Chains A and B, each alone.
Chain A
Amino acid sequence: MMTTPGGNGRFKALPTAMYAGYSGTASSWVAKTSVSASGKRIQREMAELNVDPPPECSAGPKGDNLYHWIATIIGPSGTPYEGGIFFLDMIFPSDYPFKPPKVVFKTRIYHCNVDTSGNLSVEILRDSWSPALTITKVLQAIRSIFLKPETYNPALPVIARLYLSDREKHEEVAKEWTLRFAK
């Protein structure tokens, strides 16, 4: 049991009873003991992320499943996403890093690179993916589209068009979305 400094036990580890019905949600559940090449790679990247995390974002494996991560991006100040906390699913394929992770927003966002189901589509997670990229790099890339969307490669062209033609209106709508769905 870990204890929280000054937190009066608010976030103590949950009793194991809670895990009675718990099962890994990703299809590629891998036990920690048999670490495959992709698993080793993810663990190495986790260590790297822990040492030098990019600003205002964080990520970690969900439960004990190394292939299913949750990432959190704090809406950068100065953007319409300010004040929002965005949660994302990051699902790593078993042949990672040869294939990119799949990134899905769990928090609604008004953004031209995120489709209506939350799927993120950015260059580096598609055509320009390279096995040299790491989780840290992916997080940095996600954070950068909050600052500057990839309007040339949109999942929702309508939003991209609005961003380019009427920036003010775009910011206003995005702000409203943040306020309603991402606080």
Chain B
Amino acid sequence: MFSSGNVTSRVFERQIRSSPPGASVNRARKFYENLVPSHTLYDVECPDHCFRKFTEDGLFLISFSRNHQELIVYRPSWLTYTSDSDDTLPPLPRRAPRFDSFFTHLYSVNLASANELICKDFFLYFPSRRFGLFATSTAQIHDSAPSPGAVPGVPSIDKITFVLLRLDDGVVLDERVFLHDFVNLAYNMGVFMYDDLLAILSLRYQKIHLLQIRDSGHLVDARAIGYFCREDDELFLNSSSQAMMTSQDKNKQQNREDDAATISQPDAENSFLSGIKQRLLSFIFREIWNEESDNTMRVQNLKKKFYFHFQDYVDLIIWKVQFLDRHHLLIKFGSVDGGVGRNADHLPAFFAVYNMETTDIVAFYQNSAEDLYQLFEQFSDHFTVSSSSPFMNFVTSHSNSVHALEQLKYLKNKSNSFSQFVKKMLVSLPFSCQSQSPSPYFDQSLFRFDEKLISAADRHRQSSDNPIKFISRRKPETLKFKIKPGPECGSADGRSKKICSFLFHPHLPLAISIQQTLFMPPSVVNIHFRR
């Protein structure tokens, strides 16, 4: 569009011209170029909490107490004050630069119990009912005792509790407890929410628990995928196994059951492939089988590509899971070392698309597969699906923004080896749930900023003393506003490492930056807003 960037002329233009079909939101969002959080209140007096995030509808600010016991919820509100000054920009009243001028405390709830603490990196929001999902856990045990059915080498947590809470009033609606299990809670990695469905990945028992969040606020088991694929497989197997045995066998079985080992449990003497592995192996087998029609060539192929690696495929474990739609999961498989370790990028990994209804593997790729990368480049929005909230549709990706695509292509051309580049890009799959901020200030069609310093991704970053510049995309590319974490005049101690996190409101020109120095607990909280 050839319109002016002036806010008044934009308002006039909005009155006389309707926007192109389907683009009214895009046009309305252009106003964010004029309304920016350019004013900073440095080192605001505020309660000493861990501020987690704004919910994606902007209704709540989630924070946890420093001792990880309490959930504290605030309602973001707009600073209001009166002034009798005639200046265009009257000075702020003395009491304005305070945390409670922007946030109203709604309630505090104690979620932790006994030796469990709130996991401060975990929070999922269920927007349609305004429920929040939180997690509390006991300490992680690294050298856990092996137990039947558990993957050796995966740590164990004695108790993990997922708490579903109504954010309107802080009432706990339901809980789900996992005992002696391991779910990767950091940055929501082990849990994915899609509409009302919840996939919780137990790394230790290699099981994807599918739960449904009912409107009533109950967590209901839908199915578990892992050792079995369908919800009634175990029941089916147990009942038909009973029928299969003669009375003599039954006595034997009875004795064994007394030793607390049932037939369906994956114990040592029962070496059947798990449901998901059977699906995976038969898919791989079929692909190789169908690749070659000549019998002798096929035998060679199978020998080299399938039987030789059979044990490696059997040893693969599920690392991460996300929904692609209500019926399909994207599952990442890898070796045990990579499931828990942080730097697993160099290890081989595989992606599988699994249909939960037909229990079929639909596609299978290695993490260097170029065809998967092409899908990722062109249709990345199909991987980031998840939410019904309208703001979330505008999160920038290289599939919906030419600027992000340009950046990606630049990186692609710069990299020495394409296969290394593919691997590096595919590390972000499966996506972590609700890990991106929908704030319009991260919309790359509106603003340009240094993605190393700040981005929509919900991460802590190393902070520099220089302010972060947000530059308008439209010509002339002018500096629109700066975000500067930390104290106004920079810190006295330039050597110590500073960690920064940014919380942007999803639709208001309001942001919080929190700067922390290692070993220096009181963090510096700045509030950035539009005066």
A180 touches B245 (CB 8 A): no
- Given the complex, which residues of A lie within 8 Å of B279, measured CB to CB? 183
**Which of B275, B281, B311 contacts A25, CB < 8 Å?**
B311
Which residues 57-91 in A have Cβ within 8 Å of B in the complex? 58-64, 69-70, 72, 74, 84-85, 87, 89
Given A7-B291, A62-B307, A116-B263, also A182-B299 (CB < 8 A): no
- Given the complex, which residues of B lie within 8 Å of A49, measured CB to CB? 299
A17 touches B270 (CB 8 A): no
Among the stretches A35-43, A92-100, A125-133, A156-164, the one at the interface with B is A156-164
- Given the complex, which residues of B lie within 8 Å of A102, measured CB to CB? none
- Given the complex, which residues of B lie within 8 Å of A176, measured CB to CB? 236
A118 touches B312 (CB 8 A): no
Distance (whole angstroms) from the CB of B474 to the closest CB of chain A: 40
- Given the complex, which residues of A lie within 8 Å of B346, measured CB to CB? 17
What is the CA–CA distance of A106 and B278 in the complex, to the nearest angstrom?
A: 9
Distance (whole angstroms) from the CB of B341 to the closest CB of chain A: 13
A118 touches B310 (CB 8 A): no
Which residues 124-183 in A have Cβ within 8 Å of B in the complex? 156-159, 173, 176-177, 180-183
A58 touches B302 (CB 8 A): yes
Q: How many interface residues does B have (CB within 8 Å)?
A: 59
A60 touches B271 (CB 8 A): no
Proximity string of chain A (8-31) to chain B, C-beta cutoff 8 Å, 1 when within and 0 when not: 111111110111001001000000
**Which of B271, B298, B306 contacts A118, CB < 8 Å?**
B271
**Which of B282, B305, B312, B371 contacts A8, CB < 8 Å?**
B371
What is the CA–CA distance of A102 and B157 in the complex, to the nearest angstrom?
A: 40
**Most chain B C-beta atoms within 10 Å of own C-beta, residue among A61, A116, A159:** A116
B59 interface residue, CB < 8 Å from A?
A: no
Distance (whole angstroms) from the CB of A180 to the closest CB of chain B: 6
The size class of the interface chain A forms with chain B is 35 or more
**Which of A4, A25, A158, A181 contacts B245, CB < 8 Å?**
A158
User: Nearest A residue to B295 by beta-carbon distance?
Assistant: A53
Main secondary structure of the interface of B (DSSP, over half): helix
A183 touches B312 (CB 8 A): no
B257 interface residue, CB < 8 Å from A?
A: no
- Given the complex, which residues of B lie within 8 Å of A84, measured CB to CB? 282
Distance (whole angstroms) from the CB of A83 to the closest CB of chain B: 10
**Which of A9, A51, A85, A87 contacts B370, CB < 8 Å?**
A9
- Given the complex, which residues of A lie within 8 Å of B310, measured CB to CB? 62-63, 70
- Given the complex, which residues of B lie within 8 Å of A89, measured CB to CB? 271
- Given the complex, which residues of A lie within 8 Å of B281, measured CB to CB? 85, 87
What is the CA–CA distance of A105 and B305 in the complex, to the nearest angstrom?
A: 21
- Given the complex, which residues of A lie within 8 Å of B275, measured CB to CB? 181
Proximity string of chain B (298-318) to chain A, C-beta cutoff 8 Å, 1 when within and 0 when not: 111011111111111000000
- Given the complex, which residues of A lie within 8 Å of B302, measured CB to CB? 58, 60, 72
**Which of B236, B244, B335, B364 contacts A116, CB < 8 Å?**
B244
Distance (whole angstroms) from the CB of A136 to the closest CB of chain B: 11
Question: Can you list 26 pairs linking A and B with CB atoms under 8 Å apart?
Answer: A6-B291, A8-B370, A9-B366, A9-B368, A11-B287, A13-B309, A15-B348, A19-B312, A22-B312, A25-B311, A52-B295, A53-B298, A61-B308, A62-B310, A69-B307, A70-B307, A72-B285, A85-B282, A87-B281, A105-B272, A107-B272, A117-B269, A118-B272, A157-B246, A158-B243, A180-B229
Known: A6-B291, A8-B370, A118-B271. 18 other contacts (CB 8 A): A9-B370, A12-B366, A13-B309, A25-B311, A50-B300, A53-B296, A84-B282, A87-B273, A108-B272, A117-B270, A156-B245, A158-B244, A158-B245, A158-B246, A181-B278, A183-B282, A183-B359, A183-B360
Q: State the A residues within 8 Å of B (CB).
A: 2, 4-15, 17-19, 22, 25, 49-53, 58-64, 69-70, 72, 74, 84-85, 87, 89, 104-108, 110, 116-118, 156-159, 173, 176-177, 180-183
